[in-house]
Amino acid sequence: MISKNRYEEIGRKVVQASYEVHKELGPGLLESVYEICLVEELQNLNLKVERQVKLPVNFKGKVLEKEFIIDLLVEDCIIIELKAVEVLLPVHEVQLVTYMKLADIRLGFLINFNVPLLKQGIKRKVNNYFLIK
């Protein structure tokens, strides 16, 4: 199990990398462009990153022929859901939290790159995070 300190360390790197991408590219591009650039930045920070991770749908104990797609999974412990939209909606936050619950991931970031200041576009979500020692 990952310690709270390790989560915080990885989380800081995620935010740092996101700021670097936004500083370089600014708002107004496609989500896929931000995704590939963020992967590059995170890997430059020596983090393991997986793109477009499939998350199966389990219903009443049965895996169905449908899956969710996680944008980025960092170090097997943090989900990043990327957006490039005018406004983040509550459904975007619900999407991230749902992915976190289904994947049993305790920390996630919803990052909207289509903002003048990235600080306005980052939301951090936790799922049983404070149960970590």
pLDDT per residue as tens digits for the range 53-98: 999 888 888 888 889 999 999 999 999 999 999 999 999 999 999 9
If you ran DSSP here, which 8-state letter would residue 48 be given? -
Phi, psi of 129, deg, nearest 5: -60, -40
Q: Which residues does residue 39 pair with via DSSP β-bridges, in sequence order?
A: none
Q: What is the dihedral of CA 65, 33, 49, 111, to 10 degrees?
A: -90
Phi, psi of 131, deg, nearest 5: -85, -10
Distance CA 45, CA 75 (A): 12
Distance CA 99, CA 8 (A): 20
pLDDT of amino acid 94? 92
Percent of the chain with pLDDT over 90: 76
- Average pLDDT over the chain, rounded to whole? 92
Prediction pTM value = 0.90
Distance CA 74, CA 133 (A): 20
